[in-house]
């Protein structure tokens, strides 16, 4: 375990804060200093407000002195992906379209972190533009770099959230996951990343990409830290019509209460052609660990896996086309200075404001929703989506959770994959989870020979996050991967 404050876990830091061995201001100052020292190379932040963060930390110290601490997250600096609204702070989605936009309100998760948990909301984290990408090279401002190798990508779209945590620029972060955008960068940067069940966490204040797939979730150093952040932001929200009404358990205490052995499924379709041998070997070793612990390991089949990519890129682009229609250069966002009339404003503002990948997805989505093609593409994709979900639910009649690789390949070089399809294939193991609305997480499970992190994906049953976290923690406690840090 690193002695540096910025590399310690929430649980360790919370204990020091509670024992008055550390103040929230000292912790926040350490994180700010670390960010200033390394972020010019990592490029994880779009912006940050030192004065605001220190004011939040001072308020936390005052609460604690008065015996009114709000729990283990009180005074802990947590970074937010720049698609999650923070009142009075920039909200850019890493796009020229929103380059000068400042959010007038807090997202529900932001409000919960600040008002209920007492966390220090720290900075706006870089991402693929409008959360569309798998490498974080689609940011309109600059690409994020992987702290383990600055010539490589951190994954996407929440690359800034994963890289900031791995580099010690935050104690935990939030990202969004539409097709793997939390789990894949978590795997590539060697952190824990959790995508919850659809509806468990409010999407109010999250810039929409694909509304039926988007989900906010935490990045953390440990499974226990992820449980703490999840507990703070989960729960029903009347401001989100897709928010699910269900009690939120104490995920941290459930970790200790839930014991194996479990029945774990290995989907044969996830260990086929295209899987990097080193990743395959690391995941197989993790499976062998669970077997040694007395877990029943069973091969299962998800026969519609081969249709996931096609289905995802029809549904996601269709919803993106609809959601991004609001950026018209009239009400807010970028407005072209060369436009001559209303139609011209709309056309030129969007042409100038959106990047190539966002335009590509809008065009694809508009096509599949267009007259004559809606039934052939969008409607059919929704039917296949139902089949994909049924595959998972059928497998859960026999097993408690599934074990798979998170990413088929380790972090690749910046600029190495210029073909959009090659990038889309990076999400092959993660997109099915979003289509089915299931919880899943990535935990570190080793390194390649060249020192790049490898992630193990665990896929759980709907609203069974507590079980999923317990399964993940049993592996984490027996290994030291999560205590390894890049040397920046």
Q: Which residue has the tokens 């190798």?
A: 149
Q: Which of 60, 103, 134, 181 is catalytic?
A: 181
Task: Clarify whether 139 is annotated catalytic.
Answer: no
How many Cβ atoms are within 10 Å of 404's Cβ, its own excluded? 25
How many Cβ atoms are within 10 Å of 51's Cβ, its own excluded? 7
Between helix 308-323 and helix 380-395 the angle, nearest 10°, is 130
Q: Which of 60, 95, 139, 157 is catalytic?
A: 157
CA-to-CA distance for 74 and 314, rounded, in angstroms? 42
Task: Clarify whether 157 is annotated catalytic.
Answer: yes
**Six-digit token string for 17:** 């804060």
3-state secondary structure the chain: CCCCHHHCCHHHHHHHHHCCCCCHHHHHHHHHHHHHHHHHHHCCEEECCHHHHHHHHHHHHHHHHCCCCCCCCCCCEEEEECCECCCCCECCCCCHHHCCCECCCCCHHHHHHHHHHCCEEEEEECCCHHHCCCCCCCCCCCCCCECCECCECCCCCCHHHHHHHHCCCCCEEEEECCCCCCHHHHHHHCCEEEECCCCCECCCCECCCCCCCCCEEEEECCHHHHHHHHHHHECCCCCCCCCCCCCCCCHHHHHHHCCCCCEEEEEHHHHCCCCCHHHHHHHHHHHHHHHHCCCEEEEECCHHHHHHHHHHHHHHHHHHHHHHHHCCCCCCCCCCCCCCCHHHHHHHHHHHHCCHHHHHHHHHHHHHHCCCCHHHHHHHHHHHHHHHHHHHHHHCCCCCEEEEECCCCCCCECCCCCCHHHHHHHHCCCHHHHHHCCCEEEEEEEECCCCCEEEEEEECCCCCHHHHHHHHHHHHCCCCHHHCCCCC
CA-to-CA distance for 119 and 56, rounded, in angstroms? 8
Q: Which of 9, 60, 81, 348 is catalytic?
A: 81
Q: How crowded is the C-beta side of 479, counted as CA atoms within 13 Å?
A: 21
Task: Clarify whether 243 is annotated catalytic.
Answer: no
**Six-digit token string for 153:** 């990508």
Catalytic residues: 81, 157, 181
């Amino acid at each position: 375990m690193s002695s540096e404050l910025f590399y310690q876990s929430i649980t360790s830091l919370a204990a020091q804060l509670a024992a008055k061995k550390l103040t929230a201001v000292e912790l926040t100052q350490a994180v700010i200093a670390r960010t200033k020292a390394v972020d010019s190379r990592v490029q994880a932040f779009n912006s940050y407000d030192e004065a605001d963060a220190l004011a939040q930390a001072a308020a936390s110290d005052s609460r604690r002195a008065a015996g009114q601490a709000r729990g283990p997250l009180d005074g802990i600096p947590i970074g937010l992906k720049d698609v999650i609204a923070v009142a009075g702070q920039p909200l850019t989605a890493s796009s020229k379209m929103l380059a000068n936009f400042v959010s007038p309100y807090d997202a529900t998760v932001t409000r919960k972190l600040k008002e209920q948990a007492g966390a220090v909301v720290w900075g706006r984290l870089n991402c693929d533009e409008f959360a569309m990408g798998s490498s974080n090279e689609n940011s309109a401002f600059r690409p994020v770099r992987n702290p383990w190798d600055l010539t490589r990508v951190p994954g996407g779209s929440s690359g800034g959230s994963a890289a900031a945590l791995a580099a010690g620029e935050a104690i935990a972060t939030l990202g969004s996951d539409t097709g793997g955008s939390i789990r894949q960068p978590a795997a590539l940067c060697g952190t824990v990343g959790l995508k919850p069940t659809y509806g468990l966490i409010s999407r109010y204040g999250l810039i929409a990409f694909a509304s039926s797939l988007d989900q906010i979730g935490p990045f953390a150093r440990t499974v226990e830290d992820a449980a703490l952040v999840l507990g703070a932001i989960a729960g029903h929200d009347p401001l989100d019509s897709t928010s699910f009404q269900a009690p939120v358990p104490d995920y941290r205490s459930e970790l200790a209460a839930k014991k194996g052995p479990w029945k774990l499924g290995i989907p044969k379709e996830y260990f086929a052609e295209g899987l990097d041998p080193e990743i395959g070997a690391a995941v197989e070793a993790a499976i062998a660990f669970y077997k040694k612990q007395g877990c029943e390991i069973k091969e299962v089949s998800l026969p519609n896996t081969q249709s996931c990519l096609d289905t995802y890129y029809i549904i996601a682009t269709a919803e993106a086309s609809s959601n991004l229609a609001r950026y018209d250069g009239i009400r807010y966002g970028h407005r072209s200075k060369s436009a001559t009339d209303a139609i011209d404003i709309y056309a030129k503002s969007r042409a100038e404001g959106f990047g190539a990948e966002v335009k590509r997805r809008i065009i694809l989505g508009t096509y599949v929703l267009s007259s004559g093609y809606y039934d052939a593409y969008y409607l059919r994709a929704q039917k296949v989506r139902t089949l994909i979900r049924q595959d998972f639910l059928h497998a859960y009649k026999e097993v408690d959770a599934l074990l798979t690789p998170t990413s088929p390949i380790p972090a690749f070089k910046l600029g190495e994959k210029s073909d959009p399809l090659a990038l889309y294939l990076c999400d092959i193991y993660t997109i099915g989870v979003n289509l089915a609305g299931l919880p899943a997480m990535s935990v570190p499970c080793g390194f390649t020979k060249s020192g790049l992190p490898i992630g193990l994906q665990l896929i759980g049953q709907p609203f069974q996050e507590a079980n999923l976290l317990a399964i993940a923690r049993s592996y984490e406690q027996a290994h030291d991967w999560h205590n390894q840090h890049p040397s920046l």
